[in-house]
Chains A and B, each alone.
Chain A
Amino acid sequence: MSVNVSTLQARISGESTASSPLSTEEYFVNMGPQHPSTHGVLRLVLRLDGETVRDVVPVLGYIHRGIEKMGEHGNYRQFVHLVDRMDYLAALSNNWAVTMVVEKAAKMETTDRIQAIRTLVCELQRIQSHQLWWGVFGMDLGGFTPFFYGLRDREQLCDIFEKTIGARLTMNYIQPGGVMYDIHPDFVKDVKTFLAYFKSKLPEYDTLMSENVIIQERLRGIGKLSAERALALGATGPVLRASGVAHDLRKSEPYGLYSQVDFDVPVGTTGDCWDRYWVRMEEMRQSIRIVEQLIDNIPEGKTFMVKPAAKIKVPAGVHYSHMETPRGVLGVVLVSDGKESPYRIHCRTPNFNNLWCIGEMATGGRIGDLVAMLSSIDLVIPDIDR
């Protein structure tokens, strides 16, 4: 048995597959790593035949920081700080994913208050993340106004987080054993003000984008992904649900206080860009429902169960835990040898798996639709490269 290792150069060379009654020629275009619609440093090598996309080769690593290796050199509490920098639009979810696996492995107790606060802030962040996606999606499709609308409303949530947490992007808020600080005295009032405000603004989102005939024409039937292919390609989150698979860990393996709240899991039918758009729009409404049910019922109790400086030791073995972030399933494989730092830690990030659907969606389509497809997957590049 001998295994051959290939290179990027070999991958993009090869026979031309151009087919047209006209004399055409295949050519390559580098989309990225500095292309505005890739929202970061993603590079796609496109094999084009005229305007038809024949092949998409994602080239990664422009923001690879070796978070898994760094994790082996720090303790568990320090690793929570590193994962903020993966999916920076869902830093709280990332914090919670690591916290969850450490707490499960080390059998740490928590209170209902801790779980309620975690559930609340993560749902607020899901709204915040989808707001930004919505704005950027509109901008990628050529309309600049949605970007302002999305960021305007996101700002309100940033302010709420800043009051309680002190940070607007990289939170480090959810820690093994609790949450960093108790919620700000104004938190409940501020969230209610925000909900009333945002519910009045959501119809604007619909009139501006959802009901816009140009948007619908550009999204319907574009970038179709069947349920079988989505599963085979390991897609999760809104990308999988838009293809019609109602897989949501908040429902199937409830964590936090999700088992106590009532909400629906929106699913699509055809798995095109429109379905992915619609699923996320509906998820914002469902998140509002969850927050509304929890905000008046935050139980009393402690917000930190151990001293913040306490050393955490995880029993030797392989531990795994996963949760539903705004973009899909974030799983953490934690291998411990009983010491204070992990022996090996691996993050199964949602964007990494979702990215590969772009090849399936784009091949055979037009280059003009590629931006809409990319944006409908809602990629965050540091989460792919880690």
Chain B
Amino acid sequence: MDAPNLIAAVQALQPDATVREKTDRPTLIVPAEGLVALATRLRDDPALKFELLEAHTAIDWIEEDRFELLYLLASIAHGHVLTLSVSVDRENPEVPTLCNVYPIAEWLERESYDLMGILYDDHPDLRRLFLEDDWVGFPLRKDYEDDFMLERPE
């Protein structure tokens, strides 16, 4: 499916999904509440068949006071791709886990918790991945500070 048809097909499943501008992959902004149901249908719908969660990452938009979570889905059978974008509040970054839809999400989400501090509701084993269990703070956040940090050039 090409990008406009794909977006139309997903918007038929999730009518409140809006297109995210400034990306090079078809990207839809979806609310956190319906994420698990939507991902299940994206995976199981024979015309869409997104069987691979290729990557998952979080972006800290500190000036807008939110985290943006990106779920990069790919369908090997149909050769099309889709990105889901979910925004969560910076103060209370909770989002439902996708572990039951895509098992790899268990570790991708642990990485995202470890470095960005996103809290995944209902995650079976949410704990630090790279850093020690008693590490303080989440290094990839823009307001993280420690003694060895460099200044970001303008």
A335 to B24, CA, bound (A): 11
Q: A5-B127, A317-B23 are in contact. Are A329 and B54 (CB under 8 A)?
A: yes
The answer to whether the Cβ of A261 comes within 8 Å of any Cβ in the partner chain is no
- Taking a contact as CB atoms under 8 Å apart, the answer to whether A252 and B104 are in contact is no
CB-CB under 8 A from A366, the residues of chain B are none
CB 8 Å contact bits of B100-112 with A (1 = contact, 0 = none): 0011101110010
Of A66, A232, A333, which is within 8 A of B139 by CB? A66
The answer to whether the Cβ of A105 comes within 8 Å of any Cβ in the partner chain is yes
User: Separation in Å of the B91 CB from the closest CB of chain A?
Assistant: 14
- Taking a contact as CB atoms under 8 Å apart, the answer to whether B153 and A340 are in contact is yes
The answer to whether the Cβ of B16 comes within 8 Å of any Cβ in the partner chain is no
CB-CB under 8 A from A1, the residues of chain B are 94, 121
Minimum CB distance partner of A334 in chain B: B24
A residues 331-368 in Cβ contact with B at 8 Å: 331, 333, 335, 339-341, 343-344, 346, 348, 352-353, 356
Q: A8-B133, A234-B52, A344-B59 are in contact. Are A318 and B107 (CB under 8 A)?
A: no
User: Separation in Å of the B65 CB from the closest CB of chain A?
Assistant: 16
- Taking a contact as CB atoms under 8 Å apart, the answer to whether B154 and A61 are in contact is no
What secondary structure prevails in chain B residues at the interface with A?
A: loop
A286 to B121, CA, bound (A): 45
The answer to whether the Cβ of A68 comes within 8 Å of any Cβ in the partner chain is yes
Of A6, A60, A322, which is within 8 A of B54 by CB? A322
- Taking a contact as CB atoms under 8 Å apart, the answer to whether A60 and B27 are in contact is no
A residues 161-197 in Cβ contact with B at 8 Å: none
CB 8 Å contact bits of A361-386 with B (1 = contact, 0 = none): 00000000000000000000000010
Of B21, B57, B113, B131, which is within 8 A of A64 by CB? B131
- Taking a contact as CB atoms under 8 Å apart, the answer to whether A6 and B23 are in contact is no
- Taking a contact as CB atoms under 8 Å apart, the answer to whether A333 and B153 are in contact is no
A331 to B108, CA, bound (A): 14
- Taking a contact as CB atoms under 8 Å apart, the answer to whether B59 and A320 are in contact is no
A residues 226-264 in Cβ contact with B at 8 Å: 231-234, 245, 247, 252
The answer to whether the Cβ of A20 comes within 8 Å of any Cβ in the partner chain is no
- Taking a contact as CB atoms under 8 Å apart, the answer to whether A69 and B52 are in contact is no
Minimum CB distance partner of B96 in chain A: A1
B residues 99-154 in Cβ contact with A at 8 Å: 102-104, 106-108, 111, 113, 115, 119-121, 123, 125-133, 139-140, 149-154
CB-CB under 8 A from A212, the residues of chain B are none
CB-CB under 8 A from B72, the residues of chain A are 320, 331, 333, 348
- Taking a contact as CB atoms under 8 Å apart, the answer to whether B54 and A7 are in contact is no
B residues 1-58 in Cβ contact with A at 8 Å: 20-25, 27, 51-55, 57
- Taking a contact as CB atoms under 8 Å apart, the answer to whether A331 and B127 are in contact is no
A66 to B150, CA, bound (A): 12
A321 to B94, CA, bound (A): 28
A340 to B103, CA, bound (A): 36
- Taking a contact as CB atoms under 8 Å apart, the answer to whether B126 and A245 are in contact is no
CB-CB under 8 A from A319, the residues of chain B are 23-24
- The chain B residues found within 8 Å of chain A, CB to CB, are 20-25, 27, 51-55, 57, 59-60, 70, 72, 76, 79, 83, 94, 102-104, 106-108, 111, 113, 115, 119-121, 123, 125-133, 139-140, 149-154
- The chain A residues found within 8 Å of chain B, CB to CB, are 1, 3-11, 60-61, 64, 66, 68-70, 72-75, 104-105, 231-234, 245, 247, 252, 315-322, 329, 331, 333, 335, 339-341, 343-344, 346, 348, 352-353, 356, 385
Task: Across the A-B interface, give the 8 residue pairs with the lowest CB-CB distance, nearest first.
Answer: A317-B22, A234-B104, A348-B55, A61-B130, A3-B119, A346-B57, A64-B130, A6-B127
